Amino acid sequence: MSDSGLRDRRKLDWAFAAIAIAVALITFLKGFRMPNAWAATHFAFNYSQGFVRRGLVGEIARQIGGDDVFRYNPFALVSFLVLLAIGVALGFAVRQALRSDPGDHGFRAAVVAIAASPAIVFFVHSVGYLEDLAILLILPLILLANQIRNRYAIFYIVLVLGVFFAFVHEVLVVMFGPVFAFAFACHIVSDTRRHGLRPVRLTVLIAHAVLVTAVIFVVAMVVSSIGAEDAARIRALQRFLRQHADFPIRPESFQALGRSSYEAITKTMPWYWEMESSRELAARTWIAYLPGFVFLLYYGVWAVSRPGLPRRLTWMFAIFYVVVTSSAHFLNLVGWDWNRWNAITLFAGLLSLLFFKRYFPSLAAPRAPTHVWALGAIAVALGLAGDYQLNDGFKVQFYPFGQQLDTVDNLIEKDFEYRPRR
């Protein structure tokens, strides 16, 4: 590349970085709030009264800091540090993807469209939720993917991560298990391209992928059922937290802790979706979220259809990508956090694209036609304009973000001694 071409590309990279960061900052300010009591209560679940699902993080904290470790301000600080770390790691992963394929301008449009999406507004709004930890742990795997010499290492790393996720929160496996499966597919195809099609090796790799995926989901199912019906243990944990936590405990959290997935599918969610108000709220949210999601699917299918891959593989990756990106919507069968599931779909799509680009850096994307840019710009515009209900009566904030400034002033006046009401 000539010096002038290199300078132009650097200018383009800087322009993209400035736009992406500005859009991400707007999204952050639209959804910013201090972590709510629901997130703090989930952080505080622990094994002091015996095993309960979703109690691993709280138990680790309790083992480190004792029974009185459950304090709101340290939890809020750690939550925002995790969010910041996700942003930094995601920035490195995106930069890595752009360096591997600098001509893929459609990817730039997809990143900005995701950053502008109302679903990411809710992700910021739900700071402190346990999926933040899962995303933070997946990003280093993307950065290291295709660099680990042992061809079986990724399977064992994912096995450890998946089992860990199951004990942190069993739904994390449903959220990100499909992303791991997509990464396995990328790894297997990449290995075959490098070393040739060897049936025995291919069979062993596929067996690893299937077995690890199955083990993770089985562990999640087992963990989700252990202790769910032990009401006495859950009540004892609730009493323990009221004695040791300095923030209000959300009793609904304990109801969810004791509700099995079977009960949620057969009783709770059918009752919820029968209410017209529930359907109306969800519909408004989905309308706001749809432009970014549709563009992500469109770009993703186009991006994984690389000319350097056999046609049957491009079809496989395209179909697999749509399934992986859409899979979190099945969580509407077990919980009414539709805002949350929307955010996870966008992360699943982005993480899958980053895995793909990491495993196939030499396969340049076809040049993005003008309509890809146009659709991306429309998705960004609608995303930034998007408005829907957030948690606990909060509303999406728009420039100049007066409520957010008031929140900061209030925190300073109270010497940052803040406790959520809900």
Would you place residue 1 in the very low, low, confident or very high pLDDT band (cuts 50, 70, 90)?
low
Residue 400: pLDDT over 70:
yes
Give CA separation, 114 vs 126, 143, 225, 392, in Å: 17, 20, 35, 24
Share of the chain above pLDDT 90, in %: 51
Residue 132: pLDDT over 80:
yes
> Tell me, what's the pLDDT at 337?
86
Residue 291: pLDDT over 60:
yes
Supply angle C-alpha 110, 118, 138, rounded to 5: 60
User: Exposed (0-12), middle (13-18) or buried (19+): which is 273, by Cβ within 10 Å?
Assistant: middle
Q: Taking the model in full, what pTM does it have?
A: 0.92
Other CB atoms closer than 10 Å to residue 418's CB: what's the count? 15
The overall average pLDDT reported for the chain is 88
DSSP H or E segment with residue 125:
helix 118-125
Question: Which DSSP symbol is given to 241?
Answer: H
> Tell me, what's the pLDDT at 391?
81
* Nearest residue to 176 (alpha-carbon basis) of 390, 359, 341, 391: 341
Give CA separation, 60 vs 45, 168, 181, 233, 242, in Å: 10, 10, 28, 19, 19
Residue 5: pLDDT over 70:
no
pLDDT in tens, 52-87: 888 999 999 999 999 899 999 999 999 999 999 999
Alpha-carbon distance of 345 to 307, in angstroms, equals 26
Give CA separation, 214 vs 210, 221, 277, in Å: 6, 11, 38
What is residue 285's three-state secondary structure? helix
Which stretch of 14-28, 38-52, 258-272, 318-332 has the lowest confidence by average pLDDT? 258-272
> Tell me, what's the pLDDT at 264?
79
Helix residue ranges per DSSP H, 264-369: 269-274, 276-304, 311-326, 338-359
Give CA separation, 66 vs 44, 83, 177, 239, 416, in Å: 12, 25, 33, 16, 23
Would you place residue 232 in the very low, low, confident or very high pLDDT band (cuts 50, 70, 90)?
confident
Q: Quick check: 41 and 250 in contact, CB under 8 A?
A: yes
Alpha-carbon distance of 152 to 137, in angstroms, equals 19
Q: Which of 221-235, 260-274, 323-337, 353-367 has the highest mean pLDDT?
A: 323-337
> Tell me, what's the pLDDT at 367?
72
> Tell me, what's the pLDDT at 158?
96
* Helices (H) then strands (E): counts for the chain: 19, 0
pLDDT in tens, 327-355: 999 988 888 888 899 999 999 999 999 99
Alpha-carbon distance of 172 to 224, in angstroms, equals 11
Domain spans in the chain, listed from the N-terminal domain onward: 3-413
Residue 416: pLDDT over 70:
no
Residue type, 341: W
pLDDT in tens, 169-205: 999 999 999 999 999 999 999 988 887 777 888 999 9
* For residues 315-324, average pLDDT: 94
Question: Which DSSP symbol is given to 50?
Answer: B
Token duo for residue 21: 């960061």
Alpha-carbon distance of 280 to 257, in angstroms, equals 27
